[in-house]
Amino acid sequence: MKRVFYFITAVTAALLLSACGALSHIGYRDGTLVISMDQAISELHAVETAKRIDSYKSLFIYQHILRLKEGNFVVYENAKTDIQYEFEPTMMRTIDVVFETRKKVLVYAYAHLRAYQLFLPNGKILNLIAQQSESQELQLLYGMSSAQMDRLLHSLDPHAPATPYRDVLVIRDPHHALQTHWDVQKVHFYPLVVPLPRLLGF
């Protein structure tokens, strides 16, 4: 009986270690946009030209409009739930809802990081890198050209494939940079976020 117990414990520990072994992150601070995968780090100089914060009580959206050295703009969004809530749908479904996508193409995946090309309702294609390592935070980076996204992914992984679609939406006007559509209906009634299970007595 003890052997079975030790075996189960060892297998559980191995699974937890393998699940936690791969790390990814997107962040912005002090003029630097950072994307990392394990030991690989890509840093981009990006000047913040505008910042916006939206609150839906259970969800907070931090949106940064950033100008890259090439002159075009990208948007970094960090969506965080209240401590008592979490995102309910998968990251892919959340992306479909907030971008109102017609379809999406997965370009690259590693750990909790995904690169997509999204087909928007207006027919344009948007490059997106998304990261969600835990259920209470979702990070989005979008608006770069296909060449820019290729360089970024390749700096993290030399074997990353090139984006299949080259004619994409490149943001030139910061006043029309935001492409997500968060609203009360989606957040609370879709819903995108729900109370944590322990608050429901589970």
* Element containing residue 41 per DSSP (H, E): strand 40-55
Distance of CA 172 to the CA centre of its chain: 22
Asked whether the whole model's pTM tops 0.95, one would answer no
| Terminal CA-CA length for the chain | 30
| Residues near 190 by beta carbon (within 8 Å), at least 6 away in sequence | 89, 97
Confidence tier at 197 by pLDDT (50, 70, 90): confident
| Per-residue pLDDT reduced to its tens digit, 52-106 | 999 999 999 999 999 999 999 999 999 999 999 999 999 999 999 999 999 999 9
123: left (phi over 0), alpha (psi -120 to 50) or beta: left
Burial 169-178 (b: 16+ CB within 10 A, else e): bbbeeeeebb
How is the chain split into domains, by residue range? 24-200
Contact 161, 107 (CB under 8 A): yes
